[in-house]
Amino acid sequence: MLTNRFLDVLKNRNREKPDGEISQAASKIENQKRLSTPEFLKVYETIWQEGPLIKYQNFGAMEREQQLINQSPKIL
């Protein structure tokens, strides 16, 4: 199921901008064959989407730090 969705995404993107490498990679994936490094990187570049930006890597740690500072302000 995931493979089918993945192939559909590749084929749809290939229709928008035809590219021989993408169609070759899609056929290799369908036949369960290994991709070469350039093919893999091209597929990765095609399907990668930027995620949401986050301000803090560990937001819970920042909250705990604030609580500690509020409990005993002399820590700083």
Mean pLDDT for all residues in the chain:
80
pLDDT tens digits along 17-33? 777 788 888 889 889 89
Name the DSSP letter for residue 70. Answer: H
Please give the full DSSP string across 5-68, using - where no structure is assigned.
HHHHHHHHHHHHS--HHHHHHHHHHHTT-PPPHHHHHHHHHHH-------S-S-HHHHHHHHHH
In this prediction, residue 33 carries a pLDDT of 92
**Percent over 90 (pLDDT), the chain:** 9
pLDDT tens digits along 2-19? 778 878 888 777 777 777
Using CB atoms within 10 A of its CB, is residue 26 exposed (0-12), middle (13-18) or buried (19+)? buried
In this prediction, residue 74 carries a pLDDT of 65
